[in-house]
Structure 1
Amino acid sequence: MNKRNKEKYVVTCAWPYVNTIPHLGTFLHLLSGDIITRYLKIKGDEAIYVSGSDTHGTPVIVAAEKEGIPPKDLAFKYHNIILRLLKEWNIDFTNYTHTHNEVHIEFVQEFYKKVHENGYFTLQESKQFFCDHCNRFLPDRFVEGTCPHCHHQGARGDQCVNPECGKILKPIELINPYCATCKNPPVLKKTEHWYFDLPKFEKQLKDFIVSTPHIPANAKPKMLDMINEGLVARPFTRDLKWGIPAGPIFGEKFKDKVLYVWTEAVLGYLSAVKEWAIKENKPELFEYFWKDKNTKTVFCIGKDNNIFHIILFPALLMAVNDGYPLPYAVSTTQFIMFREKAFSKSQGIGLWADEATAILPAPYWRYYLIYTRPELKDSNFEWSEFTKIVNSNLNDTIGNFIHRTISFITRSFDGKIPVRCKLTPDEKKLLHDVEESTQDYIKAMDNFKLKDAATIVSDIARKGNQYLSSAQPWHTIKENKEAAGTTLNICAKITEILAILLWPIIPEVSEKVWKALGFQEGILEKGILSIDIKNTLEGQKIQAIKPLFHKIKEDELIKSLNDFRKSKQKQSKQKEEKKMVESKQEESGNKIDYKTFQKVELKVATIIEAESIENSKKLIKLQVDLGTEKRQIIAGIKQYYKPEELVGRQIIVVTNLKPAKLMGHESNGMLLAADIDGEPILLKPDKDVPNGTPIR
């Protein structure tokens, strides 16, 4: 296959809310982006993959209130779980971050300042639901009621949860609304919010949608119909405390409002690249990827997010007018249903990402989810179908063919790929068909048809299996070792091709096969475009391989799932009981004893150097003298102290904290400060004392 010019890609996926553990439908987007990125890399392109946890918004606040913890604690609890799951699923991000980080917050505020300066925001007064009992406005999911379109009870204030409806809603459209927290009926109150003037971009958006080939055929007409019906201004601010403050964009009057969560989450596609570039100490990489008109951006999302990525996000890029390329491809999936029902954690309907890998290794799930990827219509998960696909495709076809091929060569040809001799017409046709199928795979992947690509891989393995079974080298080797050798040479070639084509989908399995085939160069270095059907591989030393997969049974899987859930419920119950005990101890005035306090080491130190940390609004890097040693401490005091004012000051330092990294800089300790409405006031001794003096 011919080499061609390297292209540049930014691949991303919808940012999962961190209000719970993601289910398979949510994880499919993260997996899709990983597979696309791996394919682009094995094709020789330059591709980065970014996303992160959506830590703000009403779903997180509502879930936090139910758990009785602050939104930030809940958000990072689930963010850390997702980080662990990404490793389990072998999903490889260039940068998986979260929206509650300095780089993102600053980037979003600066971006919207420019949009505001460009004249695309208007201030509007409106009536919104207010709960007298909770004493707050009720945006989005804080209000529930009956859907005005399908009359489904329990519709949210932002969208109907009935999968057959799914209409985008405004809270005031709900019938019989009630507060999601206390269940009391709300009242209407006046409030002011900023709106994005979306109608101004109707023509540009229509031109973009019509001219962009990689927008799903089932989404394009719906988006165009929406534009033709007339777009409306979209609200940009919310009466909430948890989120990105709107004050720096719209003024001091709006300091108690935050940005509507979707408006900041979509900008994470840019800020995540910026954050990665800063971590790499190569800030120019941000513009290299996001300010190049030739960069191709790919978005892996669910169908309920089409409007945000095909209309709203492109309009924002147009509004800021800062040279960012518009989306190249939106790879949308429909919903995964569970036995014809929508996923529901509370009702135990569905399957979650942690549950899946608890009962079977990730390759089984990666393959299944892509082989059944719902690209045109909703799919339905059934244990019987899952079992059938794993046993038939993965085990009996792909795994069986590869294992038989390598085992036979190891056993009967001294572990060396035999010579390919004269081919029969059928063998020539087989190799031609495999070569064509490889091209079909590339074409499918280039068009983000991941399901088709997975099907093609299975078909190639099936053809190989059929050929191996019909050629029967275990018989022909007794009379014609040359013919048997040709059979195994062809099968080894097909195995090599399968290893390459499988790498984006199930990389860990692919790499096992690649290693067994004895290649010196890595699979990425080899690449998909170097596949040459005429390269016979003869004489290449290979090594034995264990079976790649095993057959599964439906009843055993369900039992394993139930056991896992029972174990989690038990752990959860134990945590709740421990929490209740601790809560009672606190209520009874339980205090720490002197021994516990003594564990904290406090010492006097003098600041000898202080400098601002680039690209940070809050952080200053301090070098402090502790008498017997000097240390570096990172402090979030930049907004209140100038670096030059700090040199020579004595401070109190906690010296036995574990080291931590902030914005790429190591901090070995923490200075103490009083907190007055968020403003830090540095603590110091009443008079100068020797550095290193302990605080008792």
Structure 2
Amino acid sequence: MRKIIATSALPYANGSIHLGHLVEYIQTDIWVRYQRLVGNEIHYICADDTHGTPIMLRAEKEGISPEQLVENVHKEHSADFSDFNISFDNFYSTNSIENKNLSEALYKSLVGNNKIEAKEIEQFYDDKKNMFLPDRFIKGTCPKCKANDQYGDSCESCGTTYSPTDLIDAYSVLTGSKPVKKKTEHYFFKLSECESFLSEWTQSDTLQKEALNKLQEWFKAGLADWDISRDAPYFGFEIPGAPGKYFYVWLDAPIGYMASFKNYADKNNLSYDEFWNKDSTTELVHFIGKDILYFHALFWPATLKYSGHRTPSKIYAHGFLTVNGEKMSKSRGTFITARSYIDAFKTPDYLRYYYFSKLNDSMGDIDLSLDDFIVKVNSDLIGKLVNIPSRTSGFVTKFFDNKIMLTTYFNESESQILVNNILLSKDEVTRLFEARQFSKICRLLISHVESVNEFVNNKEPWILAKDDAHKMKDSYLHEVCSAALQSFRLLSIYLSPIMPDLTKKIASFFNQEEFSSIDNLLSDVTTIKNYEHLLKRVEQKDVDIMVESNKNN
């Protein structure tokens, strides 16, 4: 049995969860649920990322404390994740005593290993606001690719990281004024001294090929030391021994993975050190967006290494979400919040299935075509998957007292082949789950669903039911319907990590509490309940309501 910590990137506590965020959380959750299904010990850890100037300024605007703001947002995020069946074992906050203690401890270890250096630097200062400007409150033209309106820490167009003072035609996001340069002392992590370690670490099959290629570009350009401090006023943790200086949010945010696990481990009698000490034999798997690869594949492993901790086992980066082929837009209503989706459709399974059908192991972007969303959900789930029990279970209820035949009693080779083909897919399904090749699993399983429907079409149970000879127990009608239903049950087990709401209903239909294991697929299921409608069709009006509710919000 493997022991794994899995994480999704920490959502920033400065706004609502939207469908772009959910690409990552749904992808991670499917992989985590698969690991549970095969019996591995996995702990899914996350937290709200709560520090930084944006939080401080939003709280000031709303007339509340930063602590109250992040508490309010945490409740909202927790409700959204719960309603999308994101099965965190612990969803915590980086504004915690565990994170404060761990951040200070890691920093002191880095100081002890001579990896921290104080330097006097020039930084942008907004005279109108009377404060040093954090990276995200400075915009300008990228010094490398010349893309306009890029933030002061990294370019969203080419991925380059830089100092805010390197921006061309920089301006303050807060006031629009041209910032002035002022000298201040900051603390730097000596990333430039870590290249040898990082080069070796990245060769250990930790990263996707695309991510590794990107890192090679950064190595070639040369690694710069990393500014890990910010000046007051700042909402965060003050650096020990440096009054008025605070840890940059990107230092304490990933430490939030450790802090969330520490909080969880202490409450559940788990060994924190077993998972985080430098000799740990457990796995640490991060799911992230490709836009934060630099932080997770360079700063984070180097910080862990030189503070005496284990490094990540895998970092899986994904691409962005477009809607209808374009960047999400508030004016078009395609910057869609998680809450507006749930309000419109009531279940997360439609979106979870749609993302599942699109996702793979690459860093490529995926598109949510709202027209395709309607067609795919209605075709695959309504027209094909739940069509199987709706067409066959009624005969079992009417003629066979809700009892289905075990596959060992099938007499016809076609019935046996139908079920066996699905059983024999288990190794391929598990291999593809592990590799995050979700779209391939989707195609494989839907092909089986289509085979079951074709089997039912060819056997025509509605015709067989007209012959009294087929209304007897263990008759051909009984076998046909049982083969279809047993196949449906097996496919639902494979699909349980993707659509937990639907498959829990299906498990109940087979008089089971839930599908919790992929072992012993042919259990002694002998009865079904009376069939009740499992899913409703997606209607255009529901999509329209969702889009309209997001326009200009």
TM-score normalised by the chain length of structure 1:
0.74
C-alpha distance in 2, partners of 1:106/1:346? 43
Question: Equivalent of 2:393, from 406, 414, 418?
Answer: 406
Summarize the alignment of residues 88-99 of structure 1 with structure 2, pairs less than 5 Å apart: 88-99=83-94
Are 1:294 and 2:294 counterparts? no
Would you say the 8 A contact 2:423–2:490 is kept in 1? no
Aligned to 2:29: 34
Would you say the 8 A contact 1:335–1:374 is kept in 2? no
Aligned to 1:244: 236
Deviation at 1:83, TM superposition (A): 1.0
> Alpha carbons of 1:560 and 1:266: their partners in 2 closer, same or farther (altered >3 Å)?
closer
Deviation at 1:346, TM superposition (A): 7.3
> Alpha carbons of 1:226 and 1:191: their partners in 2 closer, same or farther (altered >3 Å)?
same
C-alpha distance in 1, partners of 2:298/2:441? 29
C-alpha distance in 1, partners of 2:128/2:257? 38
> Alpha carbons of 1:441 and 1:348: their partners in 2 closer, same or farther (altered >3 Å)?
same
Aligned to 1:226: 218
Summarize the alignment of residues 104-115 of structure 1 with structure 2, pairs less than 5 Å apart: 104-115=99-110
Deviation at 1:199, TM superposition (A): 2.5
Are 1:117 and 2:112 counterparts? yes
Would you say the 8 A contact 1:331–1:448 is kept in 2? no
**Which of 146-155 and 224-233 deviates more?**
146-155
Would you say the 8 A contact 1:301–1:330 is kept in 2? yes
Aligned to 1:340: 325
Deviation at 1:97, TM superposition (A): 0.5
Kindly provide the CA deviation profile for residues 33-61 of structure 1, in whole angstroms up to 9, marking residues without a partner as x. Answer: 22222111111111111101101124434
Question: Equivalent of 1:271, from 229, 244, 259?
Answer: 259
TM-align CA RMSD: 2.4
Kindly provide the CA deviation profile for residues 259-286 of structure 1, in whole angstroms up to 9, marking residues without a partner as x. Answer: 1111111111111111112334x3x531
Are 1:314 and 2:301 counterparts? yes
**Which of 143-152 and 503-512 deviates more?**
143-152
Would you say the 8 A contact 1:50–1:96 is kept in 2? yes
What is the DSSP-based 3-state SS (H/G/I as helix, E as strand, rest coil) of the residue aligned with 1:267? helix
Aligned to 2:9: 14
Summarize the alignment of residues 234-633 of structure 1 with structure 2, pairs less than 5 Å apart: 234-248=226-240, 251=241, 254-280=242-268, 282=269, 284-291=270-277, 293-322=280-309, 324=310, 326-345=311-330, 348-360=333-345, 361-373=347-359, 375-376=361-362, 377-418=364-405, 420=407, 421=409, 424-479=412-467, 481=470, 482-519=475-512, 522-524=514-516, 527-532=517-522, 537=524, 540-562=526-548, 564-565=549-550
What is the DSSP-based 3-state SS (H/G/I as helix, E as strand, rest coil) of the residue aligned with 1:523? coil
Are 1:174 and 2:159 counterparts? no
Aligned to 2:48: 53
C-alpha distance in 2, partners of 1:276/1:167? 36
The one-letter code sitting in structure 1 at the alignment partner of 2:81 is L
The one-letter code sitting in structure 1 at the alignment partner of 2:534 is L
Deviation at 1:340, TM superposition (A): 3.2
Would you say the 8 A contact 1:9–1:48 is kept in 2? yes
Aligned length: 544
The one-letter code sitting in structure 2 at the alignment partner of 1:100 is N
The one-letter code sitting in structure 2 at the alignment partner of 1:386 is F
Deviation at 1:92, TM superposition (A): 1.8
C-alpha distance in 2, partners of 1:258/1:120? 17
Kindly provide the CA deviation profile for residues 89-108 of structure 1, in whole angstroms up to 9, marking residues without a partner as x. Answer: 12221110111111111111
> Alpha carbons of 1:246 and 1:344: their partners in 2 closer, same or farther (altered >3 Å)?
farther
**Tell me, which stretches of 5 or more residues in structure 2 are unaligned?**
none
Higher relative contact order (CA 8 A, sep 6+): 2
> Alpha carbons of 1:462 and 1:347: their partners in 2 closer, same or farther (altered >3 Å)?
closer
C-alpha distance in 2, partners of 1:167/1:233? 14
C-alpha distance in 1, partners of 2:100/2:93? 10
> Alpha carbons of 1:306 and 1:545: their partners in 2 closer, same or farther (altered >3 Å)?
farther
**Which of 187-196 and 484-493 deviates more?**
484-493
Deviation at 1:129, TM superposition (A): 0.6
C-alpha distance in 2, partners of 1:473/1:151? 67
C-alpha distance in 2, partners of 1:348/1:565? 5
Question: Equivalent of 2:124, from 116, 123, 129?
Answer: 129
Deviation at 1:391, TM superposition (A): 0.8
Kindly provide the CA deviation profile for residues 160-211 of structure 1, in whole angstroms up to 9, marking residues without a partner as x. Answer: 34xx544434311222211111111101111111111123222222222222
> Alpha carbons of 1:476 and 1:516: their partners in 2 closer, same or farther (altered >3 Å)?
same
Kindly provide the CA deviation profile for residues 408-447 of structure 1, in whole angstroms up to 9, marking residues without a partner as x. Answer: 4223322000354555554444334312322211001112
Question: Equivalent of 2:152, from 145, 148, 157?
Answer: 157
Would you say the 8 A contact 1:10–1:48 is kept in 2? yes
What is the DSSP-based 3-state SS (H/G/I as helix, E as strand, rest coil) of the residue aligned with 1:16? coil
Would you say the 8 A contact 1:513–1:545 is kept in 2? no
What is the DSSP-based 3-state SS (H/G/I as helix, E as strand, rest coil) of the residue aligned with 1:41? helix
> Alpha carbons of 1:384 and 1:346: their partners in 2 closer, same or farther (altered >3 Å)?
closer
Rg: which structure is higher? 1
Deviation at 1:399, TM superposition (A): 2.0
**Which of 386-395 and 337-346 deviates more?**
337-346
Deviation at 1:296, TM superposition (A): 1.1
Are 1:194 and 2:182 counterparts? no
Would you say the 8 A contact 1:518–1:542 is kept in 2? yes
> Alpha carbons of 1:43 and 1:16: their partners in 2 closer, same or farther (altered >3 Å)?
same
C-alpha distance in 1, partners of 2:194/2:148? 35
> Alpha carbons of 1:432 and 1:109: their partners in 2 closer, same or farther (altered >3 Å)?
same
Kindly provide the CA deviation profile for residues 656-692 of structure 1, in whole angstroms up to 9, marking residues without a partner as x. Answer: xxxxxxxxxxxxxxxxxxxxxxxxxxxxxxxxxxxxx
The one-letter code sitting in structure 2 at the alignment partner of 1:218 is E
Taking only the aligned residue pairs, the percentage that are identical comes to 28
> Alpha carbons of 1:419 and 1:523: their partners in 2 closer, same or farther (altered >3 Å)?
closer
> Alpha carbons of 1:148 and 1:247: their partners in 2 closer, same or farther (altered >3 Å)?
closer
C-alpha distance in 2, partners of 1:565/1:229? 42
> Alpha carbons of 1:407 and 1:226: their partners in 2 closer, same or farther (altered >3 Å)?
farther
Aligned to 1:78: 73
**Which of 181-190 and 145-154 deviates more?**
145-154
What is the DSSP-based 3-state SS (H/G/I as helix, E as strand, rest coil) of the residue aligned with 1:210? coil
TM-score normalised by the chain length of structure 2:
0.92
> Alpha carbons of 1:418 and 1:264: their partners in 2 closer, same or farther (altered >3 Å)?
same
Deviation at 1:329, TM superposition (A): 2.1
> Alpha carbons of 1:148 and 1:345: their partners in 2 closer, same or farther (altered >3 Å)?
farther
The one-letter code sitting in structure 1 at the alignment partner of 2:275 is F
Are 1:203 and 2:196 counterparts? yes
**Tell me, which stretches of 5 or more residues in structure 1 are unaligned?**
1-5, 570-696
> Alpha carbons of 1:348 and 1:129: their partners in 2 closer, same or farther (altered >3 Å)?
farther
Would you say the 8 A contact 1:334–1:375 is kept in 2? no
> Alpha carbons of 1:374 and 1:154: their partners in 2 closer, same or farther (altered >3 Å)?
farther
C-alpha distance in 1, partners of 2:319/2:248? 25
What is the DSSP-based 3-state SS (H/G/I as helix, E as strand, rest coil) of the residue aligned with 2:92? strand
